[in-house]
């Protein structure tokens, strides 16, 4: 009988070709990058948001990082907006806030949800294995707290347009994993006057040694085949850790900390190999009596909102309803 914990034979060259790392272990830019657009761009007649890059180097830190801030072009008069702290996907090993797919996604997230979006740049594995991305995410949260406290270097967009009492942590794929872990860490901190009101996970990248039915059903999925999931975890996890490490498998170590967060939103699609892990995550939240809203869509695929406008609009609708505290999905 075949070992279900093994994947079909694939090479590391295939993995690196997908990620954009050549065999000399240097990175190549495989995906289009775009600059922030802090002003009206005549080349974008349908521009829906402004954006700018802000360095968030905290005093005493040797790590240089930045966030890309987004605000809608048609800001409401004298009304502050919820703040979404966003983490992009890429298996912990590739992509950036400046990649065009995430840049466009955050533009539309700001415009459609009526929110300020802070998209966080974080260090990538394998040069910086986990928990480096979690540390960078938490650094961004500390910086936003300093802004809420009226720091010596206030950012005018945040102070004019962001409501620090309505902060949401959100991530897509590996960014969903980051959102989960950083939300748990943040729940142990005094972040006043900033208040985290909820966590939103879009196709969160969780794993485990034991395969799920959806992983086996979609083993050679064109968007996230199982051999690529395994490769991402091999490159991202601490040395010699397996997929039952707490960074990968949240079900191994209990759910006691999730009760500290007020509300959760989980979204996934039946065509995503990760769907069974998302369903188990929701089940565990419900067993722990944690308020959760979820949406499991028929069809779809991993990263569908980044490529399909209809799926993106439905997603933004659910996110807006959740953030503005109305029913976002039919449980």
The residues that are catalytic are 173, 272, 302
Query: Rounded CA gap, 327 and 221, in Å?
Result: 32
Do 93 and 232 meet the contact criterion of CB atoms below 8 Å apart?
yes
Residues 6+ apart with CB under 8 A from 16: 22, 23
Query: Rounded CA gap, 21 and 227, in Å?
Result: 16
Residue 283 corresponds to which tokens in the numbers above?
Answer: 């089940």
Counting every residue written for the chain, the total comes to 331
Do 163 and 83 meet the contact criterion of CB atoms below 8 Å apart?
yes
Query: Rounded CA gap, 51 and 71, in Å?
Result: 7
Helices (H), the chain: 12-19, 100-113, 132-148, 156-161, 174-186, 213-217, 226-236, 275-287, 309-323
Rounded to whole angstroms, the maximal C-alpha distance in the chain is: 66
> What are the b/e assignments for 257-278, b being 16+ CB within 10 Å?
ebeebebbbbbbbebbbbbbbb
Query: Looking up tokens 């761009």, which residue turns up?
Result: 41
Beta-carbon neighbour count of residue 236 at 10 Å? 26
């Amino acid at each position: 009988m075949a070992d279900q914990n093994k994947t079909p034979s694939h090479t590391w060259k295939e993995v690196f070709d997908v990620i954009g790392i050549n065999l000399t272990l240097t990175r190549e830019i495989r995906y289009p990058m775009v600059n922030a657009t802090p002003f009206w761009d005549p080349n974008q007649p349908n521009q829906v948001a402004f954006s700018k890059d802000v360095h968030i180097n905290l005093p005493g830190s040797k790590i240089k990082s930045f966030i890309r801030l987004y605000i809608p072009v048609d800001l409401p008069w004298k009304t502050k907006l919820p703040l979404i702290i966003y983490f992009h996907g890429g298996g912990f090993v590739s992509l950036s806030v400046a990649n065009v797919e995430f840049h466009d996604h955050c533009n539309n997230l700001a415009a459609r949800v009526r929110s300020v979006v802070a998209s966080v740049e974080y260090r990538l594995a394998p040069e910086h294995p986990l928990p480096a991305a979690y540390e960078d995410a938490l650094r961004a949260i500390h910086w936003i707290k300093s802004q809420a406290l009226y720091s010596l270097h206030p950012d005018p967009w945040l102070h004019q347009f962001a409501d620090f009492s309505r902060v949401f942590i959100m991530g897509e794929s590996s960014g969903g994993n980051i959102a989960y872990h950083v939300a748990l860490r943040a729940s142990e901190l005094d972040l006043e006057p900033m208040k985290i009101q909820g966590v939103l996970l879009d196709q969160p990248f969780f794993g485990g040694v034991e395969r799920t039915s959806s992983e086996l059903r979609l083993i050679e999925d064109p968007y996230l085949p199982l051999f690529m999931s395994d490769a991402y975890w091999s490159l991202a996890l601490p040395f010699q850790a397996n997929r039952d490490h707490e960074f990968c498998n949240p079900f191994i170590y209990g759910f006691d900390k999730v009760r500290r967060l007020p509300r959760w939103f989980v979204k996934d699609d039946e065509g995503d190999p990760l769907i069974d892990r998302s369903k188990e995550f929701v089940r565990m939240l419900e067993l722990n009596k944690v308020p959760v809203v979820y949406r499991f869509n028929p069809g779809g695929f991993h990263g569908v909102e980044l490529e399909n406008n209809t799926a993106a609009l439905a997603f933004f609708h659910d996110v807006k309803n959740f953030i503005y505290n109305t029913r976002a999905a039919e449980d």
